[in-house]
Amino acid sequence: MNIIFSLDEINEVAQQIIAQNPNKVILFHGEMGVGKTTLIKCLAKNLGVDGATSSPTFSLVNEYQTTTNQLVYHFDFYRLKIETEALDMGADEYFYSGHWCFIEWAEKIPNLIPESHSVIRIQLLPDGKRSLNLL
pLDDT at 55 over 80: no
Using alpha carbons, list the distances in angstroms from residue 41 to 59, 85, 111: 16, 25, 26
Q: Are 26 and 118 in contact (CB under 8 A)?
A: yes
Backbone angles phi, psi at 129, to 5 degrees: -75, 170
How far is it, in rounded angstroms, from Cα 59 to Cα 54? 11
**Mean pLDDT over each residue of the chain, to the nearest integer:** 95
Round to the nearest angstrom and report the end-to-end CA distance of the chain. 7
Per the model's pLDDT, the better-predicted residue between 103 and 54 turns out to be 103
pLDDT at site 59? 78
**What does the pLDDT average to over 96-122?**
97
Structural domain that includes position 69: 2-134
Contact assessment for residue 24 and residue 47, using Cβ atoms and an 8 Å cutoff:
no
pLDDT tens for each residue of 63-78 = 999 999 999 999 999 9
Mean pLDDT in residue range 116-129: 97
Residue 58 belongs to domain with CATH number:
3.40.50.300
Tens-place pLDDT, residues 7-17 = 999 999 999 99
In this prediction the pTM is 0.94
Instruction: Provide the number of structural domains found in the chain.
Output: 1
